[in-house]
Amino acid sequence: MKKIDFTYDIEEHEFFFYSQLSERGKRQYAGLVAMKHGYNGVEKSSKQFGIHKHTVRKGKKELLAKELPPANKIRQKGGGRKKNACSKGID
């Protein structure tokens, strides 16, 4: 086979891989891509994946801190949507 037969659309595969990750994984992967791009990488990464720049910066910060997340948890304790106590029994 010729070398020409092995061309890939890396960005397409990168976005497919990104779509399979958890929230934390997406954030950190976007941060990793931003670090790979170097100067102006946060803006490029946020446009590529369609997320806010602050999210990319948070992902970079998490990667640089090298902190391991708690096992089998995506959100921190207390994170997520709060329960609405008023919704029960009201018609």
Q: Is residue 1 part of a domain?
A: no
pLDDT, tens digit, for every residue of 18-52?
889 888 889 999 999 999 998 999 999 999 889 99
Q: Is the dihedral of CA 63, 69, 72, 76 positive or negative?
A: negative
Residue tagged 């992902």 (tokens): 59
Question: Containing domain of residue 55, as a range?
Answer: 23-68
**pTM beyond 0.85:** no
Q: Is residue 35 part of a domain?
A: yes
Listed residue (43, 44, 39) closest to 11, CA to CA = 44
**Domains contained in the chain, number:** 1
Separation between Cα atoms, residue 35 and residue 4, nearest integer Å: 30
